[in-house]
């Protein structure tokens, strides 16, 4: 049966660890002469309902590095669910290419796409989660600390799609997760419940606090993201009034573990959720993290197409 990559919670801890080990191997191979063309003649169709830099370029390059190819379908091009039903799009594309990556507004749309496609579907961000980002985040944390086990990962800001997948990968790989969000911007209860269930098996801990200073105490990883996600633009002004106490600045970073690293999925809004001093400072791993999208996604694609 074909598999999809829709959510971190669809995978076991050991499957995720194996994919991350593969990402490390593929990264090493790429840096020492290039990858083997194991995806020769394989083509990915990339469906975008929203803008992108990292997801669009890193998936395209991941396919090329492995000997395959990628096809970009822009938001205006196919009108997913508008010009044509998702079920029909899925069945048509399945006859042309080998794998689909989709960035959608409504999470149910990527689930529906996966249901009707008879080729693997990768979720390249929905309003609910961002699992490929979480894989790159885990890879970056592992490269810095050797493992995620026992680390304290703190997310400061909106309990959004990026935070959901980060919570879930922390739970799967044995890290503790703290969220500090202002009132009204907590994580969806169903995402928290899923995290709590995994925590019972792995021993990870989840903590919520409105106080960002309490949240970063003993943190090994400080993570933040935009205050206003794509699709929420009309709320931007309201959010800009609420979120400033949750800015990741030098004062806050200095309250964390002295070796703490700072992550951000990007795009960053400098001097809103993160200051220039932090984004470009010694704790920042923002660009290695963005580059790890390439390596983590190679492993996801190879896992789905080759079963490795
Ligand atoms: N982090 C991330 O997904 O970036 P893009 O929106 O540029 O793809
Ligand atoms: N939370 C952000 C992430 C962008 C990569 C958004 O959904 O817009």
- 165 CB within 6 A, ligand 1: no
Ligand number, closest to the Cα atom of 56: 1
- Strands across the sheet with 152-156, in order? 206-208, 176-180, 152-156, 221-224, 261-264
Q: Where are the domains of the chain?
A: 8-130+293-306, 133-289
pLDDT at 124 over 90: yes
Task: Count Cβ atoms below 10 Å from residue 234 Cβ, excluding itself.
Answer: 8
Confidence band, pLDDT 50/70/90 cuts, at residue 127: very high
User: Which of 56, 125, 157, 268 has the most ligand 2 atoms within 8 A of CB, as the residue to mutate?
Assistant: 125
Task: Write down the pLDDT at residue 79.
Answer: 87
Confidence band, pLDDT 50/70/90 cuts, at residue 75: confident
Confidence band, pLDDT 50/70/90 cuts, at residue 217: very high
Our answer to whether residue 265 is catalytic in this structure is yes
For every residue of the chain, DSSP letters joined together read ----B--GGGS-HHHHHHHHHHHHHHHHHHHTT----TTTT-EEEEEESS--SHHHHHHHHHHHHTT-EEEEE-HHHH-BTTTB-HHHHHHHHHTT-SEEEEE-SSHHHHHHHHHH-SS-EEE---SS--HHHHHHHHHHHHHHHS--TT-EEEEES---HHHHHHHHHHHHTT-EEEEE--TT-PPPHHHHHHHHHHHHHH---EEE-S-HHHHHTT-SEEEE--SS-TT-GGGHHHHHHHSGGG-B-HHHHTTS-TT-EEEE-S---BTTTB-HHHHTSTTB-HHHHHHHHHHHHHHHHHHHHH--
Task: Write down the pLDDT at residue 293.
Answer: 99
Ligand 2 neighbours (beta carbon < 6 A)? 125, 160-162, 225-226, 229-230, 265
Which class is 8-130+293-306 in CATH? alpha beta
pLDDT per residue as tens digits for the range 264-302: 999 999 999 999 999 999 999 999 999 999 999 999 999
Task: Write down the pLDDT at residue 299.
Answer: 98
Task: Write down the pLDDT at residue 78.
Answer: 87
SS (H, E, C) 37-86: CCCCCCEEEEEECCCCCHHHHHHHHHHHHCCCEEEEECHHHHCECCCECH
Q: What is the mean pLDDT of the chain?
A: 97
pLDDT at 11 over 90: yes
User: Which of 105, 265, 297 has the most ligand 2 atoms within 8 A of CB, as the residue to mutate?
Assistant: 265
Closest CA to 10 of 272, 303, 306: 303
Task: Write down the pLDDT at residue 296.
Answer: 99
Atom index in ligand 2 nearest the CA of residue 54 equals 5
Our answer to whether residue 133 is catalytic in this structure is yes
Please determine whether the domains at 8-130+293-306 and 133-289 fall in the same fold group of CATH: yes
Confidence band, pLDDT 50/70/90 cuts, at residue 85: very high
Task: Write down the pLDDT at residue 58.
Answer: 98
- What is the Cα–Cα distance from 204 to 227, expressed in whole angstroms? 27
Fold of 133-289: Rossmann fold (3.40.50)
Confidence band, pLDDT 50/70/90 cuts, at residue 125: very high
Closest CA to 44 of 289, 267, 300, 295: 300
User: Range with the lowest mean pLDDT among 42-46, 78-82, 124-128?
Assistant: 78-82
Sign of CA dihedral 49, 2, 196, 193: positive
32 touches 5 (CB < 8 A): no
Give the bridge partners for 47, in sequence order: 73, 102
Q: Output phi, psi for 188, to 5 deg.
A: -55, 135
pLDDT at 308 over 90: no
Burial class (CB in 10 A: 0-12, 13-18, 19+), 3: middle
Confidence band, pLDDT 50/70/90 cuts, at residue 77: confident
């Amino acid at each position: 049966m074909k598999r999809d990559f829709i959510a971190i919670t669809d995978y076991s801890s050991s499957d995720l660890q194996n994919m991350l080990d593969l990402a490390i191997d593929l990264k090493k191979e790429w840096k020492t002469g290039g990858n083997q063309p194991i995806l020769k003649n394989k083509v990915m169709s990339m469906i975008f309902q929203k803008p992108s830099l990292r997801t669009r370029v890193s998936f395209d390059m991941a396919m090329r590095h492995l000997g395959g190819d990628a096809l970009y379908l822009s938001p205006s091009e196919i009108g997913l669910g508008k010009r044509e039903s998702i079920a029909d799009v899925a069945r048509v594309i399945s006859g042309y290419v080998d794998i689909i990556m989709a960035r959608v507004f409504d999470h149910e749309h990527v689930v529906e796409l996966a249901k009707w496609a008879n080729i693997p579907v990768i979720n390249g961000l929905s309003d609910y989660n961002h699992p490929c980002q979480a894989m790159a985040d885990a890879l970056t944390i592992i490269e810095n600390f050797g493992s995620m086990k026992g680390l304290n990962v703190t997310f400061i800001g909106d309990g959004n799609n990026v935070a959901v997948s980060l919570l879930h990968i922390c739970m799967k790989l044995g890290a503790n997760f703290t969220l500090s969000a202002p009132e009204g911007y907590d994580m969806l209860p169903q995402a928290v419940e899923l995290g709590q269930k995994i925590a019972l098996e792995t021993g990870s801990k989840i903590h919520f606090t409105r106080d960002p200073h309490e949240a970063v105490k003993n943190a090994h990883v400080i993570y933040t993201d935009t205050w206003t996600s794509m699709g929420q633009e009309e709320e931007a002004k309201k959010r800009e009034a609420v979120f400033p106490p949750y800015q990741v600045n030098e004062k806050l970073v200095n309250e964390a573990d002295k070796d703490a690293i700072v992550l951000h999925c990007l795009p960053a809004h400098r001097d809103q959720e993160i200051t220039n001093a932090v984004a470009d400072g010694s704790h920042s791993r923002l660009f290695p993290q963005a580059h790890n999208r390439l390596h983590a996604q190679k492993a996801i694609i190879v896992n789905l197409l080759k079963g490795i």
